[in-house]
Amino acid sequence: MIRINLLGHETAKPKRRAIPTLSMGGSENAPFILVVVAAVVLVAAAWWWQDRSMRDLRATHQQVTAENEQLAETALRVVELEDRRASVNQRLGIIVDLKKNQSGPVLLLDQISRELSNSVWLTDLTLSAGNVSIIGEGLSELAITDFAQNLRLSPLFADTLLDYTQDTENSVQFQLSTRFVPLSAPPVGEAGGADSGSGR
């Protein structure tokens, strides 16, 4: 008969592994805690600084955008003002040219009409570089001579010369040359000194 001793072969119970625990109270962990806290503070400070920088950049961007819009409006106004100034200068140039023309053909015709009497009329008048050539007719040689004399007495004409006269059936034809000097001419519409010598 075989005996089996069961007491000597008892199964060993498995041992539980110890779970490591982090003790915060020990002095050996103080540097680690300080490093962690410092890292958290640095990350928080960096985040705050970056957030503040981003807000400043957004504010600067908005300000620059608003200034650019204002500058664009100002530039548009400047362009409009330049166009208006160019238009005004063009109109002023036209007015100046018209006033200059009053010392030319307009003033010339006005002054010659002052020197004409009812007995003399013109059929052709040519102005070239201040030299005036007049062709006309009169009822008599005396009326034509008076007209030529009036031009000689006028301060607006110089070197007046009665080239010729020719009798026709109903009138006397003539040709006259003179030089127009409007530098001292009075404005159109004002009575000049030539009227006093016209004898009309």
- Say which CATH superfamily domain 105-197 falls into: General secretion pathway protein M, EpsM (3.30.1360.100)
| Domain boundary assignment for the chain | 37-101, 105-197
* DSSP strand pairing (131-138 vs 172-180): antiparallel
3-state secondary structure of 191: coil
Give the residue carrying structure tokens 């005996």. Answer: 3
Residues 119 and 136: their CA atoms lie apart, in Å, by 11
State residue 108's pLDDT score.
82
Residue 7: is its pLDDT beyond 80?
Answer: no
Closest by CA to 115, choosing from 180, 170, 165, is 180
Least confident of 8-12, 38-42, 80-84: 8-12
pLDDT in tens, 92-119: 776 666 566 555 677 888 888 888 888 8
**pTM beyond 0.75, yes or no:** no
Distance from chain centroid for Cα 65: 26
CA–CA gap between residue 32 and residue 39 (Å, rounded): 11
Per-residue confidence at 185, pLDDT binned at 50, 70, 90? very low
As a whole number of angstroms, the distance between CA 140 and CA 138 comes to: 5
pLDDT of residue 191: 44
- The whole-number pLDDT of residue 35 equals 84
